[in-house]
Amino acid sequence: MAFTDTERNPLASLEQWEDDLLVRYPEPEHKAKEEYRNYDDPARDTVREFYRLNHTYQTYDFVQEKRAEFLKFDKKEIPVWGAMEFLNTLVDDSDPDIELDQLQHLLQTAEAIRADGHPDWFVLTGFLHDMGKVLCLFGEPQWAVVGDTFPVGCAHSDKIVYPEYFAANPDSSNKDFNTKYGIYEPNCGLKNVTMSWGHDEYLYHITKDHLPEPALYMIRYHSFYAQHREKAYDHLLDDHDRAMFKWVDKFNPYDLYSKSPVTPVVSELKPYYEDLIAKYLPSTIRL
């Protein structure tokens, strides 16, 4: 399917989606989220359009197509630090208050985790968790790279932001996909559930043979807000998922709230992170 440039990139940058998350899920000491949920604000028109496209086109078949295309890992073979520098070519001009590049944002997240004394694999997860955004550099639309993730192959929860836009999704009128369980069984476990396509799922498959399982849950489900914030898909989780989601909950505050105007000194931190990468990951990864 062909998309216009506006349909491919409705946001000024990928960070506009993340800024919107802070509006929906502000830090606890700030205003209650209900005071922020003004979805009629014209300033949020681009976010609304982003979700319209995401909810319309993220179908079960679309996800299968993307998995077949990208999980061949035939785009690049590159060291992990090189992949982070590649990611850094995504320029964000939308945030006038914090002028940090992608690598510096990820270092902030990882350093906040390290400062709190978490295990080194947790620190590494903070550093890596957005690396899957390189999908944008392979020409993927923004709405197939970032955005709240959700199961495909079953009914869309009304706890997902802008649920009304799912009315245009073909799966919503497909009797195989539009029931509570769809193609799944009650409490079948997320290992048996197909998620919408984006940077979370992509990076999970890149790292799944190398990182501890809690790290993989953090990577794969950190944008699954309908579940870890709203518990909308408890009917699909098994007991193992519930145990592992405690780690997703630990990670989420670092993902959302570690943004700071203090610039990490990349040259000082690089040796530590290169050693950490070498401990857990191969010398090169395939994208």
Q: Residue 77: which H helix or E strand, with range? A: strand 77-78
Summarised one tens digit per residue, pLDDT across range 36-95 is 344 455 456 889 999 999 999 999 999 999 999 999 999 999 999 999 999 888 754 433
Report the C-alpha gap between 16 and 9 in whole angstroms.
Answer: 11
Summarised one tens digit per residue, pLDDT across range 183-203 is 999 999 999 999 999 999 999
Summarised one tens digit per residue, pLDDT across range 243-256 is 999 999 999 999 88
Domain ranges of the chain: 5-286
Q: What pLDDT, on a 0 to 100 scale, did the predictor assign at position 42?
A: 45
Report the C-alpha gap between 204 and 197 in whole angstroms.
Answer: 11
Q: In percent, how much of the chain has pLDDT > 70?
A: 91
Task: Reply yes or no on whether the pLDDT at 109 is more than 50.
Answer: yes
The DSSP bridge pattern shows strands 285-286 and 194-195 to be unpaired
Q: What pLDDT, on a 0 to 100 scale, did the predictor assign at position 17?
A: 84
Mean pLDDT across the stretch 101-106? 86
Report the C-alpha gap between 49 and 6 in whole angstroms.
Answer: 10
Summarised one tens digit per residue, pLDDT across range 200-219 is 999 999 999 999 999 999 99
Task: Reply yes or no on whether the pLDDT at 97 is more than 50.
Answer: no
